Chain A
Amino acid sequence: MISWYVTQASSYAADVDDLFLLIALIVGAFFLAAEFVLLWLIVKFRARPGVKARYITGEKTSETRWVNYPHYLVLVFDILIVAAALRVWSEVKIDLPPAEERVRIIAQQWAWTFVHAGPDGKLDTADDIRTVNVLNLQVNRLYHYELHSKDVLHSFSVPAFRLKQDAVPGRAIVGWFRPTVIGEFDLQCAEICGIGHGLMPGRVRIRSAGAHAAWMEMAPRMPQLASVTPAMPATGAPASFAARAASVEASAERERGNR
């Protein structure tokens, strides 16, 4: 249903949409059934002269089962939805498939800076490409992003990817995506960040391998500016999110010292 409005441009977009559809079907059915029963009861039992209401306490089992059965059904469907939801959540936010390329995303009031790894595939080297507000990606390549903020909370949001992640100052948050469609899509800041919150739209430009390589060749190399945040661990991402976060924090602490 989301795909009626927004292209599915990442490898997990369809999974998110399917989850949405599953929930819509289940809760939709419950919703319509409940509304129907409500309206039917209002019509069927409207006041009529000479007809007295019944005396029903709702404490007898024969009465309560009418409420208990739908109630148990709610529980069953909840469990189903939880299972489906956690599967999608795990896929997007807990799993971290090996990276084919990395990109650093720096959010600030009120613009996005992207640091692409350049032809050597490594960040923080001389051939890094820095762009503002446009994220250039190659289709079908698995990216790890490393999300920073220079000032307040922002949120990296690409509806076409079905991806969102808040950017927190003082942290480098790692995640992944794999673009699957060539084209251009909106990039938003999805956490209120001041008066320019609506004035920092970005674009994601996804190209074929050849076109992306051509872009990389044309992109001006910018001199290595002082890094936004303390030095990141040089090699590879640790396996778990917690370890990831911890190692980033640890190096940040070491550099900052403690007051």
Chain B
Amino acid sequence: MSELAVHPAGHHDQGFVKTYLWSTDHKVIAMQYLFTGMLMALIGGFAVYVFRMQLAFPGQSVPLFGRVSAGQYNSLVTMHGTIMIFWVAMPVLLAAFGNYLIPLMLGCDDMVFPKVNRLSYQIFLLSAVVLVASFVVPGGAFGGAWTAYPPLSANAVYNLTRYGATVWVVAVALEFVAFLLGGINFVTTAMNSRAPGMRMFDVPIVVWMIVIASILFMASVGPLLAGAAMLFFDQVLGTGFYDPATGGDPILWQHLFWFFGHPEVYVVLLPAMGIVAEIIPVFSRKKLFGYRTIVYTAVATGVISFFVWAHHQFVAGIDPRMASLFTITTLIISVPIAEMLFVYIATLYGGSITLTTPMLWALSFVAEFLLGGVTGIFLGAAGADIYLHDTYFVLAHFHYTFFPIAIIGAFAGITFWFPKMFGRMMDERLGKIHFWVTIIAFNFIFIPLFMTGAAGDHRRIFDYSGFPDLATPGLQRLRIIATMGLVSLLAVQPVFFFNFIRSMVRGRVAGANPWRANTLEWSAPSPPPHGNFAELPEVYRGPYEYSTEDREEDFWPQHVPDDSPAPAPAATAVGWR
């Protein structure tokens, strides 16, 4: 990657530290977020391996871990959930792809505030270190679930993980601050740094989605940040914000948490949908169906997401009449999301579809997320949620949404933009093997868990042996199948890492535009140098002009002037690799 050392703005070779560790270049920062997220995914993945082995073979020593105690079980589920949402989904989907793509797709040389960008990653890294440290503090990692409901989370006498609980709150608060800072760049760059000629509706969908997601995050996280400060004070100073004995209210935390928590799922969903929206047109050679519809429904989803939060609290002790209201709003939000999925499916009509690895991931996102979406209806319908709340049905639902978002979306984006990031192609055969085994294994994990949830398996239980109605051979068989699915899923991931690393070093050279795509990042060299473009591009059309009538080529890059009969050469200057 010596390209980073040579570029048009005339900077000199800056050395390893400045180039890779202390850089303000948005692409380097994106890679930092990506690799940190992938590393945290390994930790979160190990945690789930351990506790699912405990569930499949209760009381037996888990290979690579040992016997799982009740307290360790709670810490493992807590850290798995916390890590996957805040330290995998957010950094990979929002920060990594946001940082990498936004300046490139908008045709500019970097984010508006590069130093704030660097600071945001550093705070994020600090938050990750703090969180991982909680594994080794006395008492171990926090064991009160990623939702951290008080009084359990506020009082060490109850949770028995005094230091872990406080470290957890601090880590989460730091992560929030990091993403608030990061958001500044996404929004200002998208508003002010677009290439000349790029109107609002010429901006690629993924950029729209990341910007809307950043705004959603910013608008929703504030109350939880305040709530986290209150929880911290309860833990450390003995204030009683959430303690009924002092006049406090445990339910207050729940409202603050879920007021953020629900928009948060759209904060991660929208970027993933954006990634899929970029891939489907390229590999069906078709204009994205209903660009404006997608933007409007994304905004509508974001707005409605602020009015559904208490569907997490139907049986929590809130006024039951409030629950009726939230059932209505929750089912309403299914409408714009369904619309978006229908629009993606409609894009395929009349297309010319090639099933490359990125396309397989993108299409499987739609196929799998559909199940996640429809199972949400059961939970939003308050009458059914009385039974389903806190069962594995909920868990299966949110994994059928989160897995497509965080894992499928990430793999889709990585396999699609890898050639741009590293200048080389990934191996298609390895990519397909990884894809098929991952997807099949994923379904083997969570279909059984819908069933065990409907049968009454409640959450965060380390051993069902004490429950005669649940300790049946049939249900245990389902739990074992789910665990075997997980083990298979984890076992095939090395194929991806092998493919990734080998392709970085020895993959086929990619060239600037191997996928023959339209958006501006494909007009920069692969990988783009510091400063991205030798000459900043101008934009003449929208991002999805594929297979336009009266043209020979089936794609029409945004930066190619109107009167050219054929697309301009993709590399903008001689000499860039």
Contacts and interface: CB of A to CB of B under 8 A. Distances in A.
- Are A and B co-members of a single complex? yes
Given A75-B335, A192-B145, A170 B245 contact: yes
A198 B70 contact: yes
A35 B345 CA distance: 9
Contacts, number: 309
B545 to A, nearest CB: 8
Q: Which of B288, B338, B371 has the most CB of A within 10 A?
A: B338
Given A82-B381, A89-B323, A5 B348 contact: no
Given A70-B342, A74-B334, A155-B390, A186 B381 contact: no
Given A152-B158, A155-B390, A53 B546 contact: yes
Given A58-B290, A75-B335, A48 B315 contact: no
Contact of B387 (A28, A87, A162, A198): A162
Interface in A169-218: 169-171, 173, 184-186, 188-199, 201, 203
Q: Which of B289, B334, B456 has the most CB of A within 10 A?
A: B456
Contact of A53 (B150, B286, B461, B467): B286
Interface in A5-34: 5-6, 15-16, 19-20, 23-24, 26-28, 30-31, 34
A242 B287 contact: no
Interface stretch (A38-46, A97-105, A135-143, A220-228): A38-46
Interface string B539-577: 000000011110000100000000000000000000000
A54 interface: yes
Interface stretch (B190-198, B271-279, B350-358): B350-358
Contact of B350 (A31, A45, A151): A45
B383 A155 contact: no
Q: Which bracket fits the contact residues of B? A: 35 or more
Interface stretch (B92-100, B325-333, B405-413): B325-333
Contact of A38 (B246, B334, B363): B363
A51 interface: yes
Contact of B549 (A24, A55, A82): A55
Contact of A82 (B150, B319, B328, B467): B328
B378 interface: yes
B454 interface: yes
Contacts of A254: none
B80 to A, nearest CB: 13
A31 B548 CA distance: 32
B319 A16 contact: no
B321 interface: yes
Nearest to A154: B152
Contact of B374 (A27, A151, A259): A27
Interface residues of A, number: 97
A66 B292 contact: no
A189 B463 CA distance: 13
B367 A35 contact: yes
A27 B377 contact: yes
Interface string B436-480: 000000000000000100111011111110111110000000000
Nearest to B332: A78
Contacts of B338: 70-71, 74
B250 A19 contact: no
Interface in B117-158: 143-145, 149-152, 155, 158
B341 interface: yes
A89 to B, nearest CB: 4
B423 to A, nearest CB: 26
B158 A55 contact: no
A2 interface: yes
A188 B381 contact: no
A113 interface: no
B456 A85 contact: no
Interface string A91-122: 11110000000000000010000000000000
B466 A201 contact: yes
B382 A198 contact: no
A199 B335 contact: no
Interface string B261-297: 0000000000000000000000011111111110000
B348 A157 contact: no
8 contacts: A16-B386, A19-B381, A35-B367, A159-B456, A190-B390, A192-B144, A199-B70, A242-B321
Would you list the 5 A-B pairs with minimal beta carbon distance, nearest first?
A: A170-B244, A88-B383, A58-B289, A85-B381, A54-B350
Given A92-B386, A94-B320, 18 more contacts: A23-B378, A47-B352, A53-B351, A55-B547, A66-B349, A81-B381, A82-B381, A84-B381, A85-B383, A86-B327, A89-B324, A93-B315, A152-B158, A186-B467, A188-B458, A189-B458, A198-B464, A241-B321
